[in-house]
Amino acid sequence: MLKNRNFVLASSSPRRRELLAGVGLDFEVIPPRVRESARDGEAPLDFAKRMAREKALYVCAQERRGRIVVGSDTVVSISGEIFGKPRDEEDALSMLQKLSGRTHEVITGFCVARSPGDVLHLGATRTEVRMKSLDTEGMRRYIKTGEPMDKAGAYAIQGIGSCLVEWIKGSYTGVVGLPLFELVSVLSDIGVVESG
């Protein structure tokens, strides 16, 4: 059982909330308002870490109680191309077609900060995911469920999208949106979380 001081999750993702609640942590959610777009030539790892940092620092600037803030961002990448959340069904189909039968990388950046000028940790997990070979009709049926529309890479590994995945190598919770093992370790190191 984990015990912790209350902290803030800088996210609007229900999956991140579910992951933290699932391990019994006490936290508050404050959604950040940041523009999520990669800079020209920005590497996927750099983009995920920058977005996690920007989210955490945005909320730090709003937070008046001195609590620790956690920001996170997940991107899917194949051959250096960054896939965020699909704009529409055709964009989702295009993403799934590019991922079909191939191995891609899911990068989740996470940032732990105390104030806009005090970033305590900035890191990321990188997970390899192999997608099964998918036919276009199966992709369209999956898209019609609505599940992929707010997910990086247009699939949810924790939902119906798990049927599209052949294997993963790395952090399952990182693919979902928040690398719990790594985050809890950092929070423990700085005294926010303790086991017992």
Question: Domain containing 34 — which CATH number?
Answer: 3.90.950.10
What pLDDT, on the 0 to 100 scale, is given for residue 113? 96
8 Å CB contact between 123 and 110 = yes
Total domains in the chain come to 1
Which residue range forms the structural domain that includes residue 99? 2-195
- CA–CA gap between residue 106 and residue 108 (Å, rounded): 7
- From the number of C-beta atoms within 10 Å of its C-beta (0-12, 13-18, 19+), residue 4 rates as buried
User: What is the model's pTM?
Assistant: 0.92
Nearest Cα to Cα of residue 70 among 117, 30, 36: 30
Reported as a single tens digit per residue, the pLDDT across 35-71 is: 988 899 999 999 999 999 999 999 999 888 889 999 9
Q: Provide, rounded to the nearest whole percent, the portion of the chain with pLDDT above 90.
A: 83
Reported as a single tens digit per residue, the pLDDT across 3-39 is: 677 899 999 999 999 999 999 899 999 999 999 888 9
Q: Is 114 helix (H, G, I), strand (E, B) or coil?
A: strand
Determine which one of 26, 40, 46, 73 is catalytic. 73
- CA–CA gap between residue 155 and residue 79 (Å, rounded): 18
Q: Catalytic annotation on 46? A: no
